[in-house]
Structure 1
Amino acid sequence: MLSENLKKETLANHQQLEKMLVVKMKSIRSPQDYVDLLQLFYTYFGGLETLIDQHINANELSDHAARRKSAALAQDIIDLGGQPLPKATGADLPPINDTLDAFAAMYVIEGSTLGGKIISKMMAQQLNIPDGKGLSFFNGYGEDTDAMWQAFKQRLDEKPKNEQEEAKMIHTADQTFAMFHAWITKQAA
């Protein structure tokens, strides 16, 4: 099944990225630090969504509009007193040439919702955010997060029609993780 193979084949780059993000999250001490973290997600995911939107719409994925993350990220940034930065473009993003690539990149974006509840609680406590402002991205789909993930994985598993298409999707997802890591490194320089 593609979703299981994606998890296995992208593990190294996924773990590298996750390790980097956990260090950043643990070092957050102010709302500005948190805005800086949100900007990393906004700029990269926002750029990805622009490319994904060229290949996926409601016909391909009925709840595609509800799965977009950049608007929630932008609102969180604004709620915390920041302004969204320009989105990543060009060579900073993996090539998204068709629906297979788009679904593979969405795998990375959708997967980011899974740890969101934990991160949201951590940020609320670290920054004393009692009203939830600035936490909509990490709150993801709330109580529906697991159901939304399962529904996405089911649709994802239907996409590849042969081994070559599956290999292509695995490659794109792996690149998406690796390039997000590179994007974060570049922004810190």
Structure 2
Amino acid sequence: MHSQAPDVGAPPLLEALRTGTGLLHVALEKRMPFFSERLDAQWYRRLLQAYFGFYAPIEAALYDSGLIPEGFDTLLREKTPTLVSDLHALGLNDAAISALPRWTDLPTFDTPAACLGALYVLEGATLGGQVLRREMAQRLGVDADNGGAFLDVYGAETGRHWKAFLDYLDRQTLDATDKQRAVTAARSTFSGFEQWLDRQEVLL
């Protein structure tokens, strides 16, 4: 979902998050079907439906918590609306989207640190999007206008937005306890994402 390459001078929180989620990241990447020869248009639509079922509740929980530290632009970063647009393009109406199953075993976002951990996973998931969109365009004819906008949700701004997020993390002052809360939330978000996709039968 995101690069694990260490940055020179990486802030301690970022290092803790990368270390804490590294193995989960590798395990999930191996099960994602984007590059599988068996992936077809129907599987792709089910995959995006599963993504919506994950992102809609977790973004609502995070943004409604009132605990995200100041400086995070929720309007810019929210991804559920793009998923809704993609699902519309893939043939689902509002009623069908509202009826989709949603993840309910969310982590508890009761501290700013926990929110940071989950946001790290969601923002990291945007990296590599251009590769995915290019693959889906070649294989399934899916692009930003007909169901593939979410794959590369930030487009040409991906690198800049990721750097801005890392700078945002770097500005947070967390003690050892809060840092562990962030890592725990990130791990719970990562593992919950895999378990949810697994239950929706969209993984390899």
Q: TM-score, normalised by structure 1?
A: 0.88
1:10-159, aligned counterparts within 5 Å?
A: 10-21=21-32, 23=33, 25-26=35-36, 27-30=38-41, 32-56=42-66, 60-82=70-92, 83-84=96-97, 85-89=100-104, 92-129=105-142, 132-159=145-172
Please give the alpha-carbon distance, in whole angstroms, between the structure 2 residues aligned to 1:177 and 1:58: 19
Structure 2 Cα separation of the partners of residues 170 and 58 of structure 1: 15
Matched, 1:8 2:58: no
**Residue 39 of structure 1: CA displacement?**
1.3
Instruction: After TM superposition, give the deviation of residue 67 of structure 1 in Å.
Output: 0.3
AA paired with 1:88?
A: W
Distance 2:82 2:144 in 1: 16
Asked if the contact 1:113/1:139 (under 8 Å) is kept, the reply is yes
Q: Distance in 1 between matches of 2:89 and 2:67?
A: 29
Separation in 2, partners of 1:4, 1:175:
17
Contact conserved, 1:43 with 1:87, CA < 8 A, in 2? yes
Deviation digits for residues 35-80 of structure 1 (CA, Å, limit 9, x no counterpart): 1111121111111101101235897235211101111011101101
1:123/1:129 contact within 8 Å kept:
yes
Equivalent AA in structure 2 for residue 20 of structure 1:
R
Which of 171, 177, 192 is matched with 1:179 structurally?
Answer: 192
Aligned in 2, Cα 1:99/1:55: closer, same or farther, shift over 3 Å? Answer: farther
* RMSD value, Cα: 2.1
Alignment CA distance shift 1:167-1:61 (3 Å) = same
Q: Distance in 1 between matches of 2:130 and 2:65?
A: 29
Q: Output the amino acid matched with 1:42.
A: F
- The one-letter amino acid of 2:131's match is I
Report how many residues are paired: 185
Q: Secondary structure at the match of 1:185?
A: helix
3-state DSSP of counterpart to 2:59: helix
Cα pair 1:160 1:166 within 8 Å, conserved: no
Check 1:113–1:131 CA distance in 2 against 1; reply closer, same or farther (3 A cut): closer
Contact 1:124 1:132 (8 Å CA) reproduced: no
Structure 1 residue identity aligned to 2:26: Q
